[in-house]
Structure 1
């Protein structure tokens, strides 16, 4: 691994040296005769912010034939090279903005370089009344490597979290417990402004208020520049910041039904040479469910369970950021955040057991389970960007550090009554003292060899250390004392370090733009089970190739292809062999012999613009090997055991079709459908039967704009029957509505939302295994109302973050 690092470092610095010499030669080279250059910068007229991926086309004024074309970079800049002498028309277009034509762009032998400077595009506004104009931003934008979800267009998410924003996307599913999956997989990486989140998965998305989000980037085939972890890809949260040289800010507060509250604020001050941002948020969410479970153990007993679940989650976060611009070439950024999450969950369950062939139960069990979990974390990061030659080469360094405490206490009280009149009572307590430290160091070098010809290489180290101590106690009724239960008490240390090196190369060939990349990751994993004095290690080097190809067919349509190999590594909870939850009917534990699972992901995407319609089709093929699944098995005592295993070999082929349709200035719809075929390989030794099934789901957002300040939005998500590894999930729907009113020239915005309006969201999950069948019904609370007030001063909005770049290619 050291040899790989040395080789990459030598490559980086050799390119750097050549850049300082060769580039100077390039800058001093005169242009060939009759070959000119047209340059400029495309800006949003309303905010003066640069527009990335704007289409710039140069047409001959004589015959309107296309001479050259390019897409703007992240700074909104473009350069058309190799232009013969003559007079031209420059055509600039971008989704959501009015087209702009510049006539009489002239290249002469005496003036071969034409700088058009700043070109400002006006928003493609919709006229409601004679005096009312509203500029609309697309709900979803598709870029070369990602789908961008604009939060401002999703009214239903106001006052919610990132989970509420994402559930309207065709590639996202949210289950009965609010857990999110991306194209059927819960293995995805969450990033905030291009950096890994402290928490991961759905827990991370629940922590981020929608009011603080500018947009969300869904990257299903990331380049080799980014971590290979997460078989489904990356979800990057881009937060709101300011790009104005002034003081600005935003304050939001909300209240919801059944004891729900939320509030957040963001303030920013930017002056010459530095920028300071301060923010914070607080949220209380009460989550209620009614649960019914009917389980039949073949040839023995039928068990009926009724449960009420109540979960209260309080979350607090404070953050500060500082950027120092020493010069146009050197920038320093420092960020820090502190967070605290307090979650209390109570579950009351009543179970009745009916022997086979009888109608009356012979045993009743009532279980009250309470679990108090907290998370306290501190996160800091520092980044430094050094530009050697502007627009040619730069070096980026980043280091992050996170310290996290995750203590929890669980108390389970179980009382059983038998038909003969006897009773038993058990009281069990469980204390979990967990702490985690992780850090990341990344060095990235980028060199633009020529127009659309870029080399990039880097090194990265992710260090992860976790200590877990679980103390389980049983209450002894005879002695009235708590006694340690050694069968469930255990202690382990866990290390999961990743050492990586990567390189990417992009260029164009025969009208196609492409980028090829290769990432090497060495996994160093070790679990020391201190209680049993056992160690379980895993060390291996893996390769992750990536490929992206794009072709702009015309001004209004493009084609994209991408491939990547991804990995899902098991986490510590899945590896610990000790049982960490148990009652009379259910037991959960880990498997220290789990291996990583791998996914090959292929996508072919197409976008087309019509008058009033923007249509996108994303087709995909995902083949997963050695997938991890928590299997249900029945032991001799009649208890269901949940143990993870590497048992899933699946293939998913599908297409996500979505459209933005404007029927009238006051009425638009955003329909989408996800069509897919799921194939699951049979594994009878694990009770998994082969599956080959077509399924689909659909979503519809409908927006009515009654005036420039008033709008109403309805949304509906429909999910028909869906197959699982051991059964199926029955059909369910999610329906909601939101109304928003803007006041005082948009400084104050009031939003009222309602979710699960008619109680249509009901989950029915059927599971089958060797010796048992189970039918689970979950009914969430309904309806859920939320009122949010937002105050904005000095036009607080997103600032372009030059230190974060999740783009795979430089443009279309």
Structure 2
């Protein structure tokens, strides 16, 4: 007793810590049991597991598989979360054994697990697994998220698993996404259609994708047949960019610096630099994060355009060759706060500010000949300079309330963003033929101010036997104001403002939307979801210089349907349907003629109507631990299809605008195959094959019948190699066949854009290397994009009627072959340490 008293006096603090830890551990297990009890049904129970490694650290993505003790058949399974925990529900009464597996570790088996009505929950805590003896000598295999994950209504591409995206922009990331194509002008298409909606964190954005660095992107979601919860805009679907946001306990972060160079033919360009810092701090009920990114880049290219035309029996040949260089600099700051008021209520605030500046210079040599192609009637040099600067400020407030009834929740959010800025463009035409022709200066100054507001409330509740209802309301408001001034003359000191060319306007759009979704499961194998969304869109377009207002009102209903049948854990089929809409945007409606290049004009069409699409998709998915196969057959029927259209105004001037075609159909098949060939070698191969059929009789007589239908296909492969000493290599390669530009909707870009025509094939190959140091806190990444400098654009645009014809070949090449090196240092962010048993105990909850 005396010895015990002496020990107690000396070690009372240690004993108190042990006692408190024990009490907290018991409390955590009790709370986990409470969560498990909510999943118990009248004929099924729950198995709760927590998995740790040899160092006692939680193992995320460990697989727990349940087998019948009677015949060893697989019953069900689950994957652990970031805290090493999983809850396996819907396990029928009976006796089972478990297999716990984790890449690079020996399997662990747990026997004699019995679930009954009296004992519906079986709890396994801190199941330790050890590195396997079968590990390849010198190779450490890391368990990570798959690069591509397939869900019911979307495919998720995890950007941080793509080494070839290091130091790139979000636009360059999309070049490696299945079913997505990005041309050299930056136009994005999904399944061959440029009518696609781009979202950032499920919201529209004023930022362009080349203003978002890949280091800020967590994942890319492809939603080809969205449910009624999403806005119906975008014929081919939605591309949602999910930005990074950490919620780990304590302080953590990452700092990245990078620099690169590119080349175009024999010329090398330097000065591609970036710097980013991401920090996060979470303590008890508060989580605070901040991101900063700085980029300084340049882009270089050259273009040629060769057009032969006949107008009223007169022939003309126009040839243009230009080189251009763009210099970019951007700052982006993003911060936010999550406040967990209690177990039922969460409040989030986000704030983002960005500044983007660009200086673009180009030099074009142009030559025009009339009737006699050997003699030039015009020859001039066009030097242009454009300075551009914009600012973007956005904020968001989000609230979530969980009701006492499991699965019932209410969310509300308000989002506001403003983008403002201006640009100045000056072009100087210097003529050598005819020699007596005066120089021509065209200078434009544009100031714009854009506001975008959304307010949304959503409610979700379980109903009946396994049913679920989702409903909500959303208000969307857009306002744009532009002031435009154009000055023309032969010298800088005698420029005169051209009032007739003023492009001043106000644009307002309001959309009120309601949606309803009901989903349920029949006999645990057949899942269905039906939805309906109603929208009333109202926009007003006011041209100030001619005091003209046009208004459009678009009421419509958009039904959706999703069906899934799971044969077993490995095989499932799904069918989905949605109706989509593509409403004309400001630039497509604006009748102002852009004459920055006086021989290749462009303008909008205020008479455009919305394009409607019926989309159907049938798919099959096969999944095992080492491989997966997903295949989709899709069909789209488009009404009043919006497309660019090029025509001749005279013997030397073309005009590209927008028109509604009668209808178009496209159908095809997609295939995605992922395979773990060896523990150190993963492959992902995907491709699509589709046909486009266009029908139009609405006065567009210059479209050749050969440009109304075509077959296209593409294939892309990604190969990842996990080598010894934390060294990874990733190789990507893609090929796209020739495809129609008829039906395209991208921006006009250089040379007035592409109307009806055909784009030639393109193939690209990238490679990336990654090496980790200092216990995986320091990462060195090297990326080489477009290894063989094969990324070019070759487009043939042509058309003819009884009075005229034209045939245009355009070629464009960027400095797309780039070498980029980056260095990242992680702070307390590689993998969560031990579970932190504090008073809140939230780390132990299953999510």
**Quick one: distance in 1 between partners of 2:483 and 2:173?**
36
DSSP-derived class of the 1:407 partner: strand
- SS at the partner of 2:439? strand
User: Scaled by the length of structure 1, what TM-score is found?
Assistant: 0.87
**Deviations 1:695-734 (CA, angstroms, capped at 9, x unpaired):** 2111222333332422222222212222221221112221
Structure 2 counterpart of 1:227: 231
> Are 1:396 and 2:411 an aligned pair?
yes
Task: Output the CA distance in 1 between the equivalents of 2:38 and 2:251.
Answer: 43
TM-score by structure 2 length?
0.84
2:320 touches 2:365 (CA, 8 Å); kept in 1? yes
Among candidates 274, 280, 299, match of residue 268 of structure 1: 280
Match of 1:493 in 2: 506
Aligned pairs (5 A) from 1:317-716: 317-389=332-404, 391-419=406-434, 421-449=435-463, 452-475=466-489, 477=491, 480-510=493-523, 511-609=525-623, 612-636=626-650, 638-647=652-661, 649-683=663-697, 685-686=699-700, 687-690=702-705, 691-716=708-733
State the shift of 1:182 in Å: 1.6
Deviation at 1:371, TM superposition (A): 1.8
1:268 Cα deviation after fit? 0.3
What secondary structure is seen at the aligned counterpart in 2 of 1:389? coil
Deviation readout 1:87-137 (Å, 9 max, x if unpaired)? 234678999999876543323343244456788999999944246333343
Partner of 1:241: 245
Quote the residue 1:15 is aligned against.
none
For structure 1, which runs of at least 5 residues remain unmatched after alignment? 1-26, 800-812
> Where does structure 2 lack aligned partners over 5 or more consecutive residues?
1-36, 262-268, 743-755, 834-847
Query: 1:743/1:57 Cα in 2 relative to 1: closer, same or farther (>3 Å)?
Result: closer
Change over 3 Å in CA distance of 1:648–1:761 after alignment to 2: farther
User: Judging changes above 3 Å, is the alpha-carbon distance between structure 1 residues 593 and 50 closer, same or farther for their aligned structure 2 residues?
Assistant: farther
Corresponding residue number in structure 2 for 1:175: 183
C-alpha separation in 2, matches of 1:122 and 1:232: 47
Q: How many residues align?
A: 762
Q: 1:452 to 1:307 in 2, by over 3 A?
A: farther
CA deviations on 1:374-395 (whole Å, 9 max, x unpaired) are 2201100001111111523111
1:634 Cα deviation after fit: 0.8
Contact 1:628 1:648 in 2 (8 A): no
Alignment partner, residue 805 of structure 1: none
Partner of 2:829: 795
* Aligned residues: CA RMSD: 3.2
Contact 2:141/2:679 (CA < 8 Å) preserved in 1? Answer: no
**What CA distance in whole angstroms lies between the structure 1 residues aligned with 2:410 and 2:46?**
28
Q: CA deviation at 1:166?
A: 2.2
- What is the CA deviation profile of residues 440-496 of structure 1, one whole-angstrom value per residue up to 9, with x for unaligned ones? 10000110226642111101101111111111111355x942211022113211111
Instruction: Please say if residues 124 and 136 of structure 1, whose CA atoms lie closer than 8 Å, have aligned partners that are also in contact.
Output: no
Relative to structure 1, is the Cα distance of residues 651 and 381 closer, same or farther in structure 2, using a 3 angstrom cutoff? same
Paired with 1:327 and 1:717, the residues of 2 have a C-alpha distance of 49
Matched, 1:786 2:820: yes
Distance 2:613 2:796 in 1: 27
Q: Contact 1:134–1:708 (CA<8 Å) still a contact in 2?
A: no
Deviations 1:570-628 (A, max 9, x none): 11121121213343311111111211112222222222235743222232212222222
- For the residue of structure 2 that corresponds to 1:583, the secondary structure is coil
Question: Displacement of 1:661 after TM fit?
Answer: 2.8
1:83 aligns with 2:92: yes
Query: 1:762-803, CA deviations, whole angstroms, 9 ceiling, x for partnerless residues?
Result: 22100012321100011222531111111111025799xxxx
Q: What aligned pairs does 1:743-762 form with structure 2 within 5 A after superposition? A: 743-762=773-792
Residue equivalent to 2:798? 768
SS at 2:234's partner residue? coil
Cα deviation for residue 57 of structure 1 reads: 7.1
Q: Is the 8 A contact 1:183 1:232 kept in 2?
A: yes
Structure 1, 167-176 or 644-653: larger mean CA deviation: 644-653
Matched residue, 1:10: none
Task: Tell me the distance in 1 between the aligned counterparts of 2:808 and 2:402.
Answer: 61
User: Are 1:125 and 1:134, in contact at CA under 8 Å, matched by a contact in 2?
Assistant: no
CA contact (8 A) 2:704 2:798 kept: no
Q: Which moved more, 1:518-527 or 1:168-177?
A: 168-177
Residue aligned with 1:134, SS: coil
2: CA distance between counterparts of 1:113 and 1:653? 49
Would you say 1:184 and 2:196 are equivalent positions? no
Q: Which moves more between the two structures, 163-172 or 121-130?
A: 121-130
Is the CA contact (8 Å cut-off) linking 2:339 and 2:348 kept in structure 1? yes
Distance (whole Å) between structure 1 residues aligned to residue 762 and residue 281 of structure 2: 47
Distance 2:510 2:762 in 1: 41
